[in-house]
Structure 1
Amino acid sequence: MNQKSLGLVFFPAFDWAITPSHPEREERLLYTRDQIVEEGLLDLPAIREYKPQLAKIQDAERVHIGIPNIASLITDAHLVSAGGAITAAEAVLRQEVKHAFALVRPPGHHAMRVVHGTRGFCTINIEAVMVEYLRRHYGLNRVAIVDTDVHHGDGTQDIFYHDPDTLFISFHQDGRTLYPGTGAVNEMGSPGAFCSTVNIPLPPGTTDTGLHYVLDNLVLPVLEDFQPDIIINSAGQDNHYSDPLANMAVTAQGYARLAEKLKADIAVLEGGYSIEDALPYVNTGIILAMAGLDYSRVVEPDIARCPRQSDATTGYIANLVKEWRDIWAEKEKLRRAAVAKAGEFWQRRRNIYYDDSGIQEQQTETVRLCPECNGYQTISTQAQGQPLGIQTAFIASIPRNSCPICRQQARDAANKARKTDQHDYYFIQDKQQDILEQI
């Protein structure tokens, strides 16, 4: 079989919605599907469509610890969405296509490692489930995730915050002006993975010009330096000038040129809520660009509505890029200094709000900074909400390629907590053995 340029996976999730009128609904993909069928894109020899597979609960548990368990918090739609991303990735890894685009929902980039409910429309993290599946089954190591959603990918950041082999780059509308309120430059990863998280908070009103300045002068050079085994685009489309939930000014042409330059191996749909005015055009442009086809005639009928970028915004973005280039040039020195300052253990405390579920979580996370491996993490979590009441859990997480000392210390920490603390649930997530164990 001749290799095609692009694999496509569609899953509109007809049977899943937060509410019938919620912005995150199946029409997000149905309008796009109608558009590309009308344009005859699925008949092009460069494009091949795949049907999504069903991910397993174990695939989700490789990433997430659900309280009380992940199976009780999700539906089959979540597993098909994650399975659709896996299907797209496997088509690339099997060299059936050069690139793949999974247009699936529910989305996932606000879902963190610990899951008590749904936040930011997300319950499990679709890209993270796909990444850990590929690591387990295809031996990938260095992974770059470029999140182009207008909202900061706080869940993806959380999951890979301690992993120096995962480069997470997110450019998004500044969190001081938009949900979830995170994604500042100083969120760079824990000491052992310092500068593996690259947040680029952009001012409202950023246009194609600003976005491509960031891409050309920061994102692409950082990717070239990192040398990933695979590049994944967490492809949110709510930077569009017509999106009702944000304040940016990117066009379909801007998105298509981004896809052409980024050359992501796999793109996975995230947000984008201008269902009629943006998504059919943006997705068509991205599909054509990823397939290596001409996208120059993909233009929104109301393109005149798109505002120009102000001189103040242009200057702000240039300074932000310079700040990050200076940081990146010193990243190894900064990482060594962060590790030395932290000592053997690094800890952070956080309050996390589940806006869709009305749950407030308090979390304390501790990381061992091991000179021989990536250490291990423990998490103490307490969540409160209706009808949840109060539920607590203690988790010890052992990363892949952990040393024997860290493996034993992680298990000892979980067993000690079970004997001395007052949590409702105790888990050991062992990524090396590929199991999630409740003790």
Structure 2
Amino acid sequence: MIRAKRKTGLIFFPAFDWAISPTHPEREERLLYTQDQVMEEGLLDVPGIREYRVRPAKYSDLQRVHFCVPDEQSMATESHLISAGGCLVAADAVMKKEVESAFALVRPPGHHAMKVVHGNRGFCNINIEAVMVEYIRDVYGVKKVAIVDTDCHHGDGTQDVYWHDPNVLFISMHQDGRTLYPGSGFAEENGGANARGATINIPLPPRTGEKGFLYALDELVMPLLEKFEPEIVINSAGQDNHFDDPITHMNFSAKGYAELNARLKPDLAVLEGGYSVEKALPYVNVGIIMAMAGMDTSTVKEPGYDKHYAPQAPDITDYITNLMGTLKDQFLINPPAPHPAKNGEIITTSKRIFYDTDMINENQDERLVRCRDCAGALAIDSHSSKGNKMMGVHIPKDVCPMCQKMAEKWVNEALDNKKFHHIFLQDRTKCTYEVLR
């Protein structure tokens, strides 16, 4: 009898009632073919593979991560809450040791949703991985987490959420931002002043195949994980690197995805992108499920493989070999030096963010305390073309007295300033979120 070597949980939520538009790549039927394929392969009948029912996340779960403007109700539909909640179900199953790994096959996706949310960008409103990570940290006391994002698009939202957190290692393997949305994810983007080297970007050239992905995994990703020693590893499992995906330009196959997952051995995987709804997504998902369960994936194959797949070209192989040499030197041999600012110095940053789905422009001004004892107090002054102006103050977990005092000062200054329509205080030490205006 075929049996799962690793007990694996599956969580399905196709979100039948939510789509950006009837013809949009992120639409209702994205997961219907996957469900059919899982049934056809009989995976739910394999001993050791267990399906779980979803539950909706609460607004308080979102408040661990985001500043939603004007509020969570405006940014998250019921489908968004259930998608995030499906990730929490997966987390519970693993953390309670009911299974060894779990895969949340849910939509809408989330890795382009940043800390401040004014609308939908990159098909994402709520960062479902980050909601899951902060839930795990609060409920189960986990401190160090690694997220490996294998979506074809740079996970700029997850990077933004954890930019200042030295206890979350974020690694993104993606198509070079010079050739694809969102136009970011370069090697020099390596973390904020208090978290240098905790963000790792691996921008791969168009036409990268499994040879390139697996080489990057073996040469850089796995050594980085070994060095960081996370308590839990999460795969942000976007599948739009597939050679048949209609909106990207990569050369990965279902078998390649399965092999990557088998080598990575994540505790949790969360579906992100992947828009070849019939030709690729069902087979990639099946391959990942089988890999997570420790099953033989040598027979995983999509219908168009023999006709459309071509081995990685030599020039791409040479490019990736050189790139890995550079990145290994930058992050393993000579890791980024600490930020030169003095302890207690305020570091300011300005950002301009475009919400491509909802056509919103946002301006952000950040203030961060350079701190050697905690992740640093953070204040975000944000206003969008929708007219909302907000101030969000973030107090990190294990905050030091200096940063606690600065956060309180920023809150009082914001309350005295009439220009802000909304003022939020996110205190991760006390696990509280206050709407002060």
TM-score range for the pair, normalised by the shorter chain length: over 0.9
Partner of 2:374 in structure 1? 373
Alignment of 1:55-74 (within 5 A): 55-74=57-76
Partner of 1:426 in structure 2? 423
Alignment of 1:67-146 (within 5 A): 67-146=69-148
Amino acid at match of 1:428: L
Deviation at 1:375, TM superposition (A): 1.4
Partner of 2:352 in structure 1? 351
CA distance in 1, matches of 2:296, 2:353: 44
* Aligned length, in residue pairs: 432
CA distance in 2, matches of 1:203, 1:211: 11
CA distance in 2, matches of 1:64, 1:191: 20
Could you give the per-residue CA deviations for residues 185-231 of structure 1, whole angstroms, max 9, x where no partner exists? 10000121001000000000000111111011111111111100000
Could you give the per-residue CA deviations for residues 158-192 of structure 1, whole angstroms, max 9, x where no partner exists? 00000000000000000111011110110000121
CA distance in 2, matches of 1:420, 1:73: 25
CA distance in 1, matches of 2:47, 2:80: 31
CA distance in 2, matches of 1:371, 1:36: 49
Amino acid at match of 2:417: T
Deviation at 1:107, TM superposition (A): 0.3
Partner of 1:360 in structure 2? 361
Residue 409 to residue 310, structure 1, CA distance change in 2 (3 Å): same
Amino acid at match of 2:171: I
CA distance in 2, matches of 1:292, 1:192: 38
CA distance in 2, matches of 1:307, 1:156: 32
Q: More deviation in 372-381 or 222-231?
A: 372-381
CA distance in 2, matches of 1:378, 1:3: 47
Partner of 1:301 in structure 2? 303
Deviation at 1:247, TM superposition (A): 0.1
Partner of 2:255 in structure 1? 253
Of 335, 338, 342, 2:337 maps to 335
Partner of 2:325 in structure 1? 322
Give the structure-1-normalised TM-score: 0.96
Asked if the contact 1:231/1:264 (under 8 Å) is kept, the reply is yes
Partner of 2:314 in structure 1? 311
Amino acid at match of 2:362: E
Partner of 2:292 in structure 1? 290
Deviation at 1:362, TM superposition (A): 0.7
What SS is found at the alignment partner of 1:191?
Answer: coil
| Percent identity for Structure 1 against Structure 2 | 53
CA distance in 1, matches of 2:255, 2:424: 47
What SS is found at the alignment partner of 1:193?
Answer: coil
Residue 203 to residue 423, structure 1, CA distance change in 2 (3 Å): same
Asked if the contact 1:191/1:342 (under 8 Å) is kept, the reply is no
Asked if the contact 2:374/2:396 (under 8 Å) is kept, the reply is no
CA distance in 2, matches of 1:173, 1:255: 15
Alignment of 1:208-219 (within 5 A): 208-219=210-221
CA distance in 1, matches of 2:418, 2:229: 44
Amino acid at match of 2:153: H
Residue 4 to residue 202, structure 1, CA distance change in 2 (3 Å): closer
What SS is found at the alignment partner of 2:7?
Answer: strand
Q: More deviation in 79-88 or 21-30?
A: 21-30
Partner of 2:277 in structure 1? 275
Q: Which aligned runs of 4 or more in structure 1 are off by greater than 3 angstroms?
A: 339-343
Deviation at 1:53, TM superposition (A): 1.5
What SS is found at the alignment partner of 1:198?
Answer: strand
Partner of 1:44 in structure 2? 46
- Aligned: 1:8 with 2:10: yes
Give the structure-2-normalised TM-score: 0.96
